[in-house]
Amino acid sequence: MRGIFGSNATVFATLIAIAAAGAATASHGVAQTTASAIANWPQFKSDNFHTGYNAVEKTLTVGNVPNLVVKWSDAAGSNGMSTSPAVANGIVYFGASNETFYAVDAKTGAPKWHASTDGAILSSAAVVNGIVYVGSEDDYLYAFNAETGKALWSVPTGDSIENSSPVVANGIVYVGSDDAGLYAFNATTGKKVWTTFVSDAITSSPAVKGNIVYVGSVDGGLHAFNAKTGARLWTGRTGNQVTSSPAIAGNVVYVGSLDQGLYAFNAVTGAKVWKAVLGGSVESSPSLFNGVVYVAADDGNVYALDAKTGKQRWHRLVGNFVDSSPAVANGVVYIGSDNGAFYALNATTGAILFKRLVTSQFDSSPAVANGVVYIGASRLFAFGLK
């Protein structure tokens, strides 16, 4: 299959030096987010650390989320959506199974532009410096002008980019592929910087902190690589496939496994800090806020665990299984369930603040920005106050 250009992108760029990794002493407190906490939700899990947390969202509160309504639902005809929306500068970006990538107005859902690929789009977009990046099952990573949709470049990987979502740090865009490769491309030109391979497919989405990029694999490992060179630093082993995406707080990285475990590893050394056994496989990706890790499992529960010890604080049943990853903002946890219901939970107690049945099943993970929660299923839904 072909991308929008040939297999090689013409380049002229110099790599920007990447800051050194943090000190080796692990701090188990949860860092709030990357340095650029803004009202947008520009990528999967909000930021490069994949905290799933919006620090500046103040419109929606524990007190008013029971009054949420559907402000609009997808006007673009997405025809099936498991990607998680990205929100930047008044535009919502998302891909669909109909091989189309959409940009719609964040307030109204009115179409802005769309672009076609040669495969289903299960990868969630990242929007950085006026460019939107997204992977496709046609094996290609695409870059579009975020405002106009103009195609800038496309570059191939060795197999489908399935659920792995790109992340951009220090001028490099990272993404995983079903060929077991983690790819690093120049974010401006698309030139390949490096590729490194693990033992099986990468459907997990990479996270970046300092000079280290972290990603899970179907081979059961959480892998850490030098972000500048691709050199392997360490691998933390779990008991089954890792399709969950890592989240970083301080010097600890958290990830789920199909062995029903949520793991915490030292982000510098790879040493296991703790493992918590949940009631089902963990395909959901963890989110972090105020010393608590939030994650869902295939037993239908959302869990809140102490980030330092892994001790469970609460769990809340929301369906039969949950693949959606939680989003956290202003004391509220948002998530979609297999039963087609969208939930808002009290982050401290797990109490259900809001539940609305709107579709057959949610695989998408929510994004919270500017007083609106966006989540996709058969359509893209926007929840806000009246």
Q: With respect to residue 41, please indicate whether it lies within any of the assigned structural domains.
A: no
Give the pLDDT score at 377.
86
Chain segment 270-306, per-residue pLDDT in tens: 999 999 999 999 999 999 999 999 999 999 999 999 9
User: Taking residues 253-268, what's their average pLDDT?
Assistant: 98
Task: Tell me if 135 is assigned to some domain.
Answer: yes
Residue pLDDT, tens place only, 9-42: 333 333 333 333 333 333 333 333 333 345 799 9
Q: What is the pLDDT of residue 35?
A: 32
pLDDT at residue 77 in the model: 55
Is residue 300 domain-resident?
Answer: yes
- Section 144-158 average pLDDT: 98
DSSP codes of every residue in 229-294: T--EEEEEE-SS---S--EEETTEEEEE-TTSEEEEEETTT--EEEEEE-SS---SPPEEETTEEE
Residue 181 has pLDDT above 70, yes or no: yes
Domain, as residue range, for 346: 65-384
Whether 74 is in a domain gets the answer yes
| CATH, residue 301 | 2.130.10.10
In a domain, residue 272? The reply is: yes
Quick one: pLDDT at residue 25? 32
Give domain status of residue 31, yes or no.
no
How far apart CA 163 and CA 277 sit, in angstroms, is 24
Nearest-angstrom CA–CA distance, 45 and 110 = 24
Q: How many domains are contained in the chain?
A: 1
pLDDT value at residue 79:
60
Domain assignment present for residue 255? The answer is yes
Across the chain, what does the average pLDDT equal? 90
**Residue 90, token pair as written in the block:** 């008044």
Whether residue 358 has pLDDT greater than 90: no
Residue pair 241/218 in contact by the 8 Å Cβ criterion:
yes
Q: Are 167 and 126 in contact (CB under 8 A)?
A: yes
